[in-house]
Amino acid sequence: MNIFSMIFVAPVVNALLVFYKAFEYLHIPSALGLAIIAITVVLRLAINPLMHKQLLHAKKMQEIQPHITKLQKKHKGNAQKLQAAQMELFKKHNLNPAFGCVVLLVQLPVFYGLYMALQTIVVAGGVQHAYKTINALVYLPWLKVTSLDTSFFGLRLEVHPNEWSTVGWWYLLIPVITAALQFYQSYLSTKVTPMGKAASVEKNKTTGKDGEVKKDNGSDMQAAMQKQMLYLFPAMIAFASYSLPMGLALYWNIFTLFGIWQYRAIASQT
């Protein structure tokens, strides 16, 4: 077992198996699927305060974007003065431009650990020798498994939706649902951390010497890229969920539902 598996994958595998064994002991059907939901909820709640701060931070960054645009025009050609002015602006509004990167760096190992744990456990449903890999990660003997029930309300968590021709067309609903939820979350993100209607009007307009209002091409390009990502990212996620085991799509969709709830909660504060 490598150091990464010891730190990030093994704890998640053990937590999943604790939930799985508990649901199995209580004779609750779809134990593995419910265990995936349970561990996803626990992890998402654990990072929820950090995510909330990140969204509020992003919203504030967007709110001061018109001021940043003015500074860029004022100090055009003088990078040193521009940087100093921007740092003063961030300090005034109690913002740290590196905060979003820090949050992402904290999340990545956790997310990847969960992904690897799910990949190991879910695939084991269809590959018998993978149980050895799982059992090598468990902390306690009673968590070891010789089989896993991967059924989940009539579906199987180890099945890839791209196998629909042999397992059933209804598996194609998985990437469709995943894309729809991701699109809705992306749409909400443009409302919660937007340029803002008023700010967008100001950003997209500049005034020439003759007083004529002109469009800001840079803002237009940013808006176009944002619109492209609104459709492109859900399409990418749909393709991923089409190619990966359904159990991973379940995990992703639970995270997305939390994101939707969080975006809506922040939107209601404005």
Q: Which residues in the chain come in under a pLDDT of 70? A: 1, 100, 103-104, 106-107, 110, 124-129, 192-226, 269-270
> What's the pLDDT at 54?
78
256 near 182, Cβ under 8 Å? yes
Report the distance separating Cα 191 and Cα 179, nearest Å. 19
Contacts 24+ apart (CB under 8 A), 130-137: 134/13, 134/17, 136/1, 137/1, 137/5, 137/9, 137/10, 137/13, 137/14
> What's the pLDDT at 224?
66
The partner residues of 205 in beta bridges, in order of sequence, read: 215
Rounded to 10°, the helix 217-243/246-267 angle is 150
Contacts 24+ apart (CB under 8 A), 230-238: 230/183, 230/186, 230/187, 230/190, 231/183, 233/182, 233/186, 234/179, 234/180, 234/182, 234/183, 234/186, 235/179, 237/178, 237/179, 237/182, 238/175, 238/176, 238/178, 238/179, 238/182
116-149 in b/e form (b: 16+ CB < 10 A) is bbbbbbbbbbeeeebbebbbebbeeeebeeeebb
The CB-side HSE value for 250 (13 A sphere, CA atoms) comes to 28
> What's the pLDDT at 82?
83
> What's the pLDDT at 241?
92
pTM of the model: 0.77
- Provide the token pair at 105: 């760096």
Report the distance separating Cα 45 and Cα 39, nearest Å. 10
> What's the pLDDT at 174?
95
Q: What angle do CA 157, 150, 129 make, to 5 degrees?
A: 100
> What's the pLDDT at 89?
84
Report the distance separating Cα 89 and Cα 72, nearest Å. 12
Q: Which amino acid appears at position 55 of this protein?
A: L
CB atoms closer than 10 angstroms to residue 181: 20
> What's the pLDDT at 269?
67
> What's the pLDDT at 158?
84
Rg (CA), the chain: 23
> What's the pLDDT at 223?
62
> What's the pLDDT at 208?
47
Q: What angle do CA 129, 134, 138 make, to 5 degrees?
A: 145
> What's the pLDDT at 90?
84
Report the distance separating Cα 16 and Cα 121, nearest Å. 9
Report the distance separating Cα 69 and Cα 14, nearest Å. 50
Compute the mean pLDDT over every residue in the chain, rounded to the nearest whole number: 80
137 near 13, Cβ under 8 Å? yes
> What's the pLDDT at 149?
84
Q: What is the pLDDT of residues 107-147, one digit of tens each?
A: 677 677 777 777 777 776 555 667 888 888 899 999 998 88
